[in-house]
Amino acid sequence: MKNRFILVADTSHTLPQILKQELAMTEYALLHAKNGQEAIDYLDLLRTQIAVAVIDLELPGVSGLDVIWRLARQKQPTSTRIIATTAIEVPLLKDVVKNFGVDVLVQTPVPVQEWRTIINSVLSSELAGSSKVRTLSAGAIA
């Protein structure tokens, strides 16, 4: 049984389906939250077991930004790496999300094949303890 998770908080089912296939042969299982409150519930329940949280900033109800802000305000630090996704102009958000502990800000849409690179990059930085915010967009992922 897998005891490490990658949380995807997104109203779309596309990204969770892609990542579920990608994670099938790894130590990680996928959790899919369809709104901000579900993301908070998962983060509260499985806080120490979620390695990466991919959070759409435009979630219904509780916004993705509010989810990230709440995670940043918790008294006990978390090792969860955060990938924030948005279709909004990224330069306006980079400074804001940096203060909330976001590791990578991804401007969507991103081609399917690039998600593996993004996730692996964040997991690698999880091991290295990197804390610099990176901004990625389609075609700019290295």
Residue 128 in any domain: the answer is yes
pTM score, whole prediction: 0.85
User: Is residue 109 in a domain?
Assistant: yes
Q: Whole-number mean pLDDT of the chain? A: 82
Residue 22 lies in a domain: yes
Whether 38 is covered by a domain: the verdict is yes
Give pLDDT tens digits for 38-62. 999 999 999 889 999 999 999 999 9
CA distances for 57 relative to 3, 71, 84, 122, 124, angstroms: 26, 14, 6, 18, 23
pLDDT given for residue 97 in this prediction: 80
Evaluate if residue 5 carries a pLDDT over 60. yes
Output the domain CATH number for residue 72: 3.40.50.2300
Answer yes or no: is pLDDT of 139 > 70. no
Q: Can you give the pLDDT at residue 108? A: 85
Domain span at residue 103? Answer: 4-137
Of the pLDDT bands very low, low, confident and very high (cuts 50, 70, 90), residue 1 is low
Give pLDDT, residue 59.
94
Tell me, yes or no, whether 91 lies in a domain: yes
Tokens describing residue 120: 């692996």
Residues 99-104 have a mean pLDDT of 85
CA angle 78, 39, 84 (to 5 degrees): 70
With contact defined as beta carbons under 8 Å apart, do 118 and 136 qualify?
A: yes
Q: What's the rounded Cα separation, in Å, for the pair 86 and 136?
A: 11
What is the average per-residue pLDDT within 2-18? 89
Domain total of the chain: 1
If you count them, how many residues does the chain have?
A: 142
**Is 142 inside a domain boundary?**
no
| Kind and range of the H or E run holding 55 | strand 50-56
pLDDT at res. 43: 94
Is 96 inside any structural domain? yes
What is the C-alpha to C-alpha distance for residues 110 and 15, in angstroms, rounded to an integer?
10
Decide if 84 contacts 104 (C-beta within 8 A).
yes
